[in-house]
Amino acid sequence: MPEIKRCSWVTSDPLYQDYHDKVWGRPVYDARELFAKLCLDGQQAGLSWLTILKKQGNYEMAFVDFDPYKIAEFDQAKVEELLQNPGIIRNRLKVNSIIQNAKAYIAFVEAGNDFSRFLWDFVGGKPIQNTYSREDSLPAQTPESEAMSKALKKLGFNFVGPTIVYAFMQAVGMVNDHLVDCHCYQECQALAGSFRK
């Protein structure tokens, strides 16, 4: 059986391989799912994504499946409780950022806005198809991620710098950054054809 060709950043960790093969680069349009992913990517700051991936289930439990309305009600006592939770990154700024982002998300949608459409508009509503053949060719940020970062910060989100935002855009399929010889490249390219109008 021939060896499966994956992007060169993927390690031999089965969890990482599964994430790469089934999640990374596949277009996500659900607003709540996008909110959750944006929060998780913010937790990655200064760490590897695999570190956060291994803790994702713990985050989903600690932050009630990333329900922004429930998170927005977290008080200081809840923050202190979360900071004792070994299953998540026990960083006060990062814990508070998820609460702040939940409040920003609620304010945005309750003003009658569509969070998914807002984010996808930065790439023209459909995935950007890149054609990178080497990992060192991938950018850390782009004009689109800079614009999205600036807009999110203006809405009150934090831990949404342009590099974090670009990692988010890659993960949720706003850009197809699978290397062209990766077995997922064409699949994600085909998924881009079914984007939401």
Taking only the tens place, the pLDDT of each residue in 102-143 is 999 999 999 999 999 999 999 999 999 999 999 999 999 999
Structural domains in the chain plus CATH codes: 28-194 (1.10.340.30)
Average pLDDT over residues 51-56: 96
- pLDDT for the residue numbered 3: 76
- pLDDT for the residue numbered 1: 57
Expressed in percent and rounded to 5, the helix, strand and coil fractions of the chain are 60, 0, 40
Q: What is the pLDDT of residues 176-187, one digit of tens each?
A: 999 999 999 999
> Which one is predicted more confidently, 193 or 52?
52
115 alpha carbon, distance to own chain's centre: 14
Backbone φ and ψ for 175, nearest 5 degrees, come out as: -130, 145
Residue 196 in this model has a pLDDT that exceeds 60 = no
15 three-class SS: helix
Average pLDDT over residues 38-51: 93
156: left (phi over 0), alpha (psi -120 to 50) or beta: left
What confidence category does residue 46 fall into, taking pLDDT thresholds of 50, 70 and 90?
A: confident
- pLDDT for the residue numbered 107: 98
> Which one is predicted more confidently, 185 or 197?
185
- pLDDT for the residue numbered 197: 47
- pLDDT for the residue numbered 93: 97
- pLDDT for the residue numbered 2: 65
